[in-house]
Structures are given as C-alpha cells and as structure tokens.
Amino acid sequence: MCGGIEYQDQKIYFPQPDARLPVRLRDGNVTWITWGRRKDEAIGKFPNGGWARLNSIKSGKWKPWHPRPVLIAAEQFMEKDHDNQSHWIELDKRMTIQGLLAERDKETRIYVVTIDAPPEYAWIHDRWPRLVRLADQ
C-alpha cells in the first residue's frame, strides 16, 4: 500500500502525525502536502487513511474532494509484509508514484493511488502504489 517513501535521503512514514509528501510541480519544483488523514484528527474533512484505490477514483467515490492526479517525488517506497517486515522498493529513475490531490474548503491533502500488487510482489502486500512514467524521461 506504500507505508513510506524516501526522497532526497528523507524517509517519510504515514503514521507520522505531520507526514507530508513531496509533490512534483509542472515547473519541476517540489511542494510538500499533508499525506492523507489520520483517525485521531479532530476535523473530518477528508477520508481516513493515506491511499486511494484507482477503481474507487474511477467510480466517482472521490468526486466530493475534487480529485486531481499529481506525481509524488520519490526514489523508493516501503511496503510492510504480513509479518510487519519493511521492504524498500527502489524506483526506476524514469518512474514515479501517482498521487491524488484532494481539496475541501481551500485545504489540500495527498493520497497515494493504489492498484493490485504485481504478481512478483503479491507476497508482500495485495495493494501497490500506481507507478507512472515521467513525461520527460
């Protein structure tokens, strides 16, 4: 599902209360946006969790949050297996993680878009971040 990412030697994990993910802007710069919503947050403007299934996006579940696709800047991401062991997966330099930018009342959050895990990684987790090729690569 992507419990963490590494970007420029910085590791970010979803359970961190103030976790922000690096989002690649069109001009090549990066901005940091709060990663999802934790259950203990008092204000419930956004769905709990840090992930958005691709099929739920396509079915319209995310429409109330005006979803927009974005690219999450990362060199690698982390998945935990069924024994709670971490596995870091290095990304090909031409690939990045797709994110969903959600908006409500002028506030934004980023969610990692997930799909079914590739067969060779299904033993780690059944969901996997959706990887997309960078346009300029």
Give the model confidence (pLDDT) of 27-70 as tens digits.
Answer: 889 999 999 998 888 767 899 999 999 999 999 999 999 999 99
> Residue 21: in which H helix or E strand, if any?
strand 20-24
Domains present along the chain, CATH in parentheses: 4-133 (3.90.1680.10)
Confidence bin at 109 (pLDDT 50/70/90): very high
Confidence bin at 85 (pLDDT 50/70/90): very high
Instruction: Give the C-alpha separation, 100 to 68, whole Å.
Output: 6
C-alpha angle 42-58-105 in degrees, rounded to nearest 5? 35
User: What confidence score (pLDDT) does residue 135 get?
Assistant: 77
